[in-house]
Amino acid sequence: MDKRGWTSLDFIVVTGDAYVDHPSFGAAIISRILEKEGYKVGIIAQPNWRNGQDFRRLGKPRLAWLVTSGNIDSMVNHYTAAKKPRSKDAYSPGGKAGLRPDRAVVVYANRCREAYKGVPVIMGGIEASLRRFAHYDYWADKVRRSVLIDGKGDLLVYGMGELAIKQIAQALAQDQLSYTLPQIRGVVYTTSSAENIADAKILPSYEDVAVNKRSYAEAFMEQYKNQDPIRGKTLVQAHAAAYIVQNPPARPLNQSELDAVYALPYMGTYHPSYEAAGGVPAIQEVEFSLVSSRGCYGGCSFCALTFHQGRIIQSRSKDSIINEARQLVWRPGFKGYIHDVGGPTANFRQPACGHQHTRGACSHRQCLFPEPCPELVVEHTDYLNLLRDLRKIPGVKKVFVRSGIRYDYVMADSSGEFLRELCEHHVSGQLKVAPEHISPQVLAKMGKPGRRVYDKFVRKYEDICLDLGKKQYLVPYFMSSHPGSGLNEAIELAEYIRDIGYNPEQVQDFIPTPGTLSTCMYYTGLDPRSMEKVYVPKDYHEKAMQRALLQYRNPKNYALVLEALHKASREDLVGFGPKCLIRPRTRATVQGNGALVRKSTVTTEKPNKVDKNTRNRPKPAEKKGNINHQRDKNIPEKRQSRAPH
């Protein structure tokens, strides 16, 4: 501030992450946009929230505080699915945990107001966005009020806030925010009366949804249907004497606007003050990666993207991405490898169909589930051309696609050109895909395609790799304890993992995060799309058994796996045969197929082990459908959203 001759700031951003000036971090984008608009912006990263001293370090902001928990919901960042504290935080210096509070947006907002009274407090980011209405909080196991109410905020920006923050800044500068609010898309505010709000849908109140699960499901579904920027209506929800008002979502950025966001003068790395602590681990995944698009029409029930980035794809121009790639080549530490070119789904580079430009995304159906929509435009040409041009840049040795592809969309492409070129040039030894489960009952709740589609993709991938003479692996994501999954479905998945010779080092245990269909199912026991009852595994011991079944080869899981098989009356999977999951620890009579029949005296038999010289159980190389599924140490334990900001 002294070097720039500034005596005060217009905006101060308070963030729960260490400061990383990279466009994969929302605080960096908003700060750079405001800077370009001519405002003076300061950043307080990971302040000590236990007292107000850190919040006064940069003085009183002239226009507003901008508060975010960071790139991940603070509760997801702090706790596992079993509600145990995490030992590391990738968004903190040196990966140190505990540098932000639980429910950071609420805590920071209250501290800002205490530090300097009378300054507007504006909330944003993923935590504020997904907790903007009354919402179920898994860690408290109750319905909590909107963070705007609990944090006593003046305004909340939901979704991608580039357009909204410009309008808000202009209104604040002209002291006209209260008059402008109803016209600003993508914001939530409070009011004492809802009488003059035109064309609004009234949701069940906080008091109602907090005690009535059916009302909660109905309120959620109304929110879900109105997240489209073209069809979305204003939504109102009462919280005691106040009303939460959500204006319709912001329109998607056009290509030139999105290009402009990524052309801002980011430093591309973490602040140098973190060097002594070893830097910020989160930069490693994105420093030499390129974002090509945002938004996703995949429609996975457990993903919060519908509530944050939306279902309409927005993509950068090829020239914008190429220019960024040319700058990467000269960055310190670049070794010739572009780690990723993608977004929430790497191979989505255009809206699902032409109708979305004028009518928005359909409210009554998904683009890919249960089958691809007849109107879906299946086309990889633009993405392929982009990858080809990136490969030609001097200094680039290899361009990888690591953010994950939608395999059912690949299989809908009759040309097969994309998958072949992907296997030939852009797989770094392993390709990430997300079948998530194989039980039809669970997949239906997840909004994922059936097992048949995945098996077909595996065979196609295997054929291409064999034809190219490449030994490349698939790394499938599987999820345990999702609504709809009981022990029988978990065992079905374990048998599938056995049959494909996969040995997952990590599996995802479902975490009910705010803003997803799956979380609504978890809390209410209802599928909000049909109001049908859904089985939900909530008992911690059952969840532990389901998770253990997916890693049944691990000796530490033996007791849980054995208990699960007994409870499900699947003792046929305890024995010495090739189809058994575990061996008995007692001497037993076995059938011809190796299954356990009855117990006898205790012996020292050990559970099945995988050959130490291979990561997979051996499979005949010539047999179709036996493509190796390799473990991946980089599979994240938590996946709230596939979009980094």
Domain membership flag for residue 558: no
Instruction: Give the span between the Cα atoms of 448 and 369, in whole angstroms.
Output: 6
Q: Which residue has the higher pLDDT, 432 or 125?
A: 125
CA dihedral 444, 445, 448, 452 (to 10 degrees): -30
621: pLDDT confidence band, cut at 50, 70 and 90?
A: very low
Total domains, the chain: 2
Distance CA 620, CA 636 (A): 30
Q: Which has the higher per-residue pLDDT, 364 or 333?
A: 333
Residue labelled with tokens 């050990």: 606
276-325 confidence digits (pLDDT tens): 999 999 999 999 999 999 999 999 999 998 889 999 999 999 999 999 99
Nearest-5° Cα angle at 429, 424 to 432: 95
Distance between CA 49 and CA 100 in Å, rounded?
A: 8
Last residue of a domain, one of 459, 486, 503: 503
Residue 49 lies in a domain: yes
- Does 452 share its domain with 305? yes
Q: What is the pLDDT of residue 48?
A: 96
The answer to the question of residue 385 being in a domain is yes
- Tell me the chain's radius of gyration from C-alpha atoms: 25
- Considering only the C-alpha atoms of the chain, give the largest distance between any 2 of them, rounded to a whole number of Å: 85
Measured from the Cβ of residue 467, the count of other Cβ atoms closer than 10 Å reads 11
Sequence-distant (≥ 6) Cβ neighbours of residue 402 within 8 angstroms: 289, 339, 340, 342, 428, 432
| CB neighbour list of residue 76: distance below 8 Å, 6 or more residues apart | 511, 513, 638, 640
pLDDT of residue 403: 84
Q: For residues 304 and 301, give the distance between their C-alpha atoms in angstroms, rounded to a whole number.
A: 8
Residue 326: its pLDDT value, please?
A: 97
- Using the CB atoms, write b or e for 471-485: b if 16+ within 10 Å: ebbbbbbbbbbbbbb
181 & 294 share domain: no
Quote the CA–CA distance of 396 and 348 in Å, as a whole number. 23
> Residues of the chain with pLDDT > 90: what percent?
84
Stretch 365-369: mean pLDDT, rounded? 91
* Residue 48 maps to a domain: yes
Mean pLDDT of 162-166: 97
299 neighbors 368 (Cβ within 8 angstroms) = yes
Q: Work out the angle between the directed axes of helices 381-391 and 318-328 (0-180°, nearest 10).
A: 30
Q: Provide DSSP, 202-246.
A: EPPPHHHHTT-HHHHHHHHHHHHHT--TTTPPEEEEEETTEEEEE
Residue type present at position 498: R
pLDDT at residue 620 in the model: 39
Q: Which domain holds residue 152?
A: 11-186
pLDDT at position 44 over 80: yes
Greater pLDDT, 355 or 627: 355
Task: Kindly tell me if the per-residue pLDDT of 270 is higher than 70.
Answer: yes
Q: Which amino acid is at 642?
A: R
SS3 content of the chain, % helix, strand, coil (to 5): 35, 15, 50
Q: Are 413 and 375 in contact (CB under 8 A)?
A: no
Band (pLDDT 50/70/90 cuts) for residue 606 is very low
527, β-bridge pairs: 532
pLDDT over 70 at 599, yes or no: no
Which pair of tokens denotes residue 315?
């993509």
Checking if the pLDDT of 534 tops 70, the result is yes
Q: How far apart are CA 77 and CA 126, in angstroms?
A: 12
The domain boundary, picked from 170, 186, 202, lies at: 186
Query: Taking the mean position of all CA atoms in its chain, how far away is CA 436?
Result: 14
* Structure confidence by residue, pLDDT tens digits, 478-530: 999 999 999 999 999 999 999 999 999 888 999 999 999 999 999 999 999 99
Quick one: 177 and 295 in the same domain? no
**CATH of residue 30:** 3.40.50.280
Find the Cα–Cα–Cα–Cα dihedral 458, 464, 466, 469, rounded to 10°. Answer: -140
Helices and strands in the chain: count of H runs, count of E runs: 23, 24
Name 32's Cβ contacts closer than 8 Å, sequence gap at least 6: 21, 264, 265, 266
Give the residue-averaged pLDDT of 9-27: 97
For the question of whether the overall pTM of this predicted structure is more than 0.85, the answer is: yes
| H/E segment holding residue 188 | strand 187-191
Compute the distance between CA of residue 359 and CA of residue 230 in angstroms, rounded to an integer: 6
DSSP 20: B
Give the pLDDT confidence score for residue 507 in this predicted structure.
86
Q: Is residue 337 part of a domain?
A: yes
Q: Is 328 within the bounds of a domain?
A: yes
In a domain, 585, yes or no: no
Between CA 580 and CA 260 the distance in angstroms is 57
pLDDT tens for 95-141 read 999 999 999 999 999 999 999 999 999 999 999 999 999 999 999 99
Q: Could you tell me which of 314, 308, 319 has the C-alpha nearest to residue 263? A: 319
Task: Please report whether residue 23 resides in a domain.
Answer: yes
pLDDT score recorded for residue 506:
80
Q: What is the CATH number of the domain that holds 374?
A: 3.30.750.210
Cα 286 to Cα 109, 280, 290, 349, 456: the distances in Å are: 29, 11, 8, 19, 31
Let me know: does 119 contact 112? Beta carbons within 8 Å.
yes
In the chain, the amino acid numbered 412 is A
Indicate the residue among 147, 164, 186 that finishes a domain. 186
Say if CB 609 and CB 553 are below 8 A apart: yes
Given a cut of 80, whether residue 545 has pLDDT beyond it is yes
Q: What pLDDT score was predicted for residue 603? A: 38
Separation CA 425–CA 404 (nearest Å): 15
DSSP for 368-416, written as a single string: SSSS--TT-----HHHHHHHHHHHTSTT--EE---S---HHHHHT-TT-
Q: Count of CB atoms within 10 A of residue 603's CB? A: 11
**Residue 26 reports pLDDT greater than 90:** yes
Look-up of token digits 């420093």: 287
**Strand bridging mode 155-157 / 121-123:** parallel
**pLDDT class of 611 with cuts at 50, 70, 90:** very low
Nearest Cα neighbor of 189 from 241, 236, 126, 223 is: 236
- Tokens, residue 250: 């912001």
Q: What is the mean pLDDT of the chain?
A: 90
